[in-house]
Amino acid sequence: MYICSCFGITEQQVRQHADSGACTPRQIASACKAGTDCGSCVRRIQAILGRGACPRRELADQGEPVLTNLEDAA
Ligand code: FES
């Protein structure tokens, strides 16, 4: 099934890019251009990324805000 019809990118391809470390629609876009034309597939890409486990995104989510909170508390 095509996720991005502008560039003919399938769900399978998006998952492969996610497996090799792309955690955000922007990273998917730089890997295969999906989402860089009409943009209507970005939500679908986000949905796929949201379902998969992505260690780097969890690190990014937990990283700086936690440090900022610690600084505020100190
Ligand atoms: S469907 Fe992906 S950019 Fe248009």
DSSP 38: S
For residue 1, the tally of other CB atoms under 10 A from its CB is 6
4 CA distance to ligand 1 middle (Å): 4
Q: Is the pLDDT of residue 69 over 50?
A: no
Cα atoms in the 13 Å half-sphere on the side-chain side of 45: 28
Pocket test for ligand 1, best of 1, 4, 44 (most atoms within 8 A of CB): 4
Q: Residue 50 has what pLDDT?
A: 84
Question: Which of 11-15, 40-44, 58-62, 69-73 has the least mean pLDDT?
Answer: 69-73
Cα 49 from Cα 34, distance rounded (Å) = 13
Residue with tokens 């990283």: 63
> pLDDT for 15-55, tens place per residue?
999 988 898 999 999 999 999 999 999 999 999 998 555 55
Q: Residue 21 has what pLDDT?
A: 87
Q: Is the pTM of this model over 0.85?
A: no
33 CA distance to ligand 1 middle (Å): 9
Q: Which domains does the chain have, with CATH numbers?
A: 2-73 (1.10.10.1100)
Burial class (CB in 10 A: 0-12, 13-18, 19+), 33: middle
